[in-house]
Structure 1
Amino acid sequence: MTPKQEPSPWPPGRIKIVRAFKMLLEDKNFHAITTAEIARTAGVTEGLIYKYFRDKRDLLYQVLKAHFEKFLLQIERDLRGIDGAVNKLRKIIWSNLDSYANHRVFARIILLEVRNSPDYFESEAYELVRQYNRMILGIIREGVRDGEIKEDIAPSFIRHAIFGAIEHACLNGAIFNRALATDPIAENICRLIFTGIVNRGKE
């Protein structure tokens, strides 16, 4: 007996628009895609796009929001039962890289396109990024409190170093649509970061 799928919270027309938009992003950058092209690919009228979204950029941010929500939910599940801040950070680094590796369109959008737009930083999608940042900062502070992580390095700098290493490691893949070797990249980043921040004998 085939289990029933959970009904989507989105209307069918909205789902078609989002799917068409994602498909077009596989081959084009955001600025090259028109709303007419999205409507044609989705098999809907152009006016329907404006029923559900303010404009093309709002569509992009809503798609990113859904992506971030799914990613954060998975991260929260993955961290359950993991003891120790360093182990949690190791899992986060791997999961972040794995997400970029398996969602190259989103990697390109996040790393290369949306950050040039000031309104992105006021979007609901970016609020989820801030939530993720706070989660990581909390884990780092947990590590400092428990003696795993050195207390003479500002937690915010450690977080910056983690994100910077991940993003630079993924940048060429995002630009040139190349595959990423998640495991060795994660291992190298973990060695680099943890060699500098972990108290000896505590890792």
Structure 2
Amino acid sequence: MTIPLPLPANGIDVALPGASLTLLPDWLERERAARLFDELRDTLPWSVHRLRMFGRTVDSPRLSAWIGDPGATYRYSGTDFAPHPWTEALSALRERLERELEVPFNSVLANLYRTGRDAMGWHSDDEPELGPQPAIASVSLGGVRRFALKHRQDATLRRTFELPHGSLLVMAGDTQHLYRHALPRTAREVAPRINLTFRWIEPARRR
């Protein structure tokens, strides 16, 4: 899939063989991003998702909320997540992303990383209901965290970079099939962070 990205002067193509990654560090104006962070932190239905890992069920190391159209149920780590209704703020973000990227989105996963101990382990967003070449738009709000990618077969192909407050990272094409990504823990003091990953869910594709 080729996405017609807006690519303004501050857009950065992240070079990794076979991947389609573009980072826009200042996609949201800082004050607007700060207001959005406060609103989402205080109003979204945050919960601790239970995940299946290594044969046992554990609490996820972050708070999450799944938002989307009716029927946009997402299956992750053996659990089905039915969507909560769209909020006005998230609907406005979806409309802007669809307009600028010319890609539809019917859901968004919100994750709240409260401290540097909250994290996301190595994974790919390659569930069947995301389609063969998913386009994922990832908006970061709040504390700056390190984002890492590595190739599934070639360990020498890896990149690490920071996701600033108000930034947008777009992952498309074969990125999810070739690479895994993670948000590692950090011992340094870091402000809380909210990440919003907009997706298109096709429940009929589920195995």
State the TM-score bracket (shorter-chain normalisation): under 0.3
- The structure where strand makes up a greater share of residues is 2
- The structure where helix makes up a greater share of residues is 1
TM-score, scaled to structure 2: 0.25
TM-score, scaled to structure 1: 0.26
